[in-house]
Structure 1
Amino acid sequence: MKFDPRNILVIDFGQLGDVVLSLPALAAIRQKFPRARVTVAVGGAAAAIVELAGVADETLAVDRVGLRDGPKHLSVWQIGKLVMEVRRRKFDFVIDLHSLSETNLLGFLSGASRRLYARRPTRSLDYLANFPVRPPVEDRSKHAIERYLDVLAPLKVGDVSRTPRLPVREDDSRAVEELLRKAKAGHDAPLVGIFPGAGHPSRRWPVERFAELARMLEHNDSMRVVLFAGPEERALVREARSKFPPSTVVLDRLTIPQLAAAAAR
């Protein structure tokens, strides 16, 4: 069967780290269908990751947390608006890399003639997918990168790189260097980055443990600690400042591209 879609929607509603790990799959889609227009629907903060990686023609940023936690009447209105926007774009192929019931439903309501969904027991609505060949059932023992690529198995994408790649822009590198210069960091000692946050508090290592690690790195290895944090870690930063070594550099206002530049430094 010859399959040549021209307007693809990829639903990639994971956390920031999940989207980074989905980049090899997104690159494989881009490689498999070079003539197609690829739009990635993604959580607001993660849109910058997809854009920086250059694996899509466009991103459709969605405030998933706002939809989940906001006023119900407003969430219903925003969901309706999202469905209308997706239908307006007339996608002919939808790929759902995460397969939640609500994202499967969004793909179904898109009007796309072909829908390929990850198969996740108890989470996905498999009957809403209609691609002729089904992907394997999600294997949680596999690395996330492999699980996302498994979703694409029916497309026969071939051998693709498993390494997520994010280019670093010069202006972002300069911005990071300036911040480190102001903190007098980066020349007198090696730097080590620590991010104490997590997508959910239950998955977060205690701040005290991170602080202990920071003190050990400074004392035993003469390293300078850089503490990374985002908007959701504001309270965590206040606690960390009182427990981390006084020499710790706190970078909690970086953009996503600047964070990538700092990590690549």
Structure 2
Amino acid sequence: MDTSYAQLHLDPELNHSSGYFTSDTLSLEQAQRAKTDAILSHCRIEPAMRVLDVGCGWGATARAVTRRYGAHCIGISPDEGQLAYARRRDVESGGPRVDFRLSRWEEFTEPVDRIVCVNAFENFEDKQGFLPHCRTLLPVGGVMVMLTVTADRRMFRVPSKDEIVERARESGFDVHTSGSLAADYARTLDLFVRNLNANRTALLSLVSERRLQWHLNYYAKSAAFLRSGLNDMFEFTFTAL
């Protein structure tokens, strides 16, 4: 997704992921901040730790790791455009720098103390290999927090909650799961749709009507799947054994 396009419908930090609506009055920006706060709190990050952000996007979570926790964060993504923005914003904002790298998760082999993966797992081709690979990067007691959409039906390209838990345990993790967060993601997607419609004129200077309509339909259908129970979403906390 082009950065200029993203800026017209995401929050100011460009989180292309679910927010956490801890109250009915939260804005999209506040819900995204609540999500980041919760995930990093559950990750139990301490100063000077090495933290890997897998699928870092435009860098929102990685920036929070360095600025709020004083940890060394490595953000990896296969998207050059997103990384260019993340690096530029990192420089402009000052303070501790994130080590943003153009890399797929399969290529990253360095030891780290913590791992975060925020709504990126859904896009991985090798979902079976991801958790075993992450376990090799962590020491005993290391923590990984992953937010992901799940599905019980085989027609969808994401595994079920139970399959993720089983794979994590086989890989050497203790597992804790949140309650369903489907409503949070559905509401986030509704707000993406609202923002796309509100900025239609500006967006059509960047993309075709067909492309914009595709995105509107995609977000709306994804929200409907979450509300109907065809998809769900959970936050998983994995502790290395």
Same fold (TM over 0.5): no
TM-score by length of 2: 0.38
- Greater RCO, CA 8 A, separation 6+: 2
TM-score (norm 1): 0.36
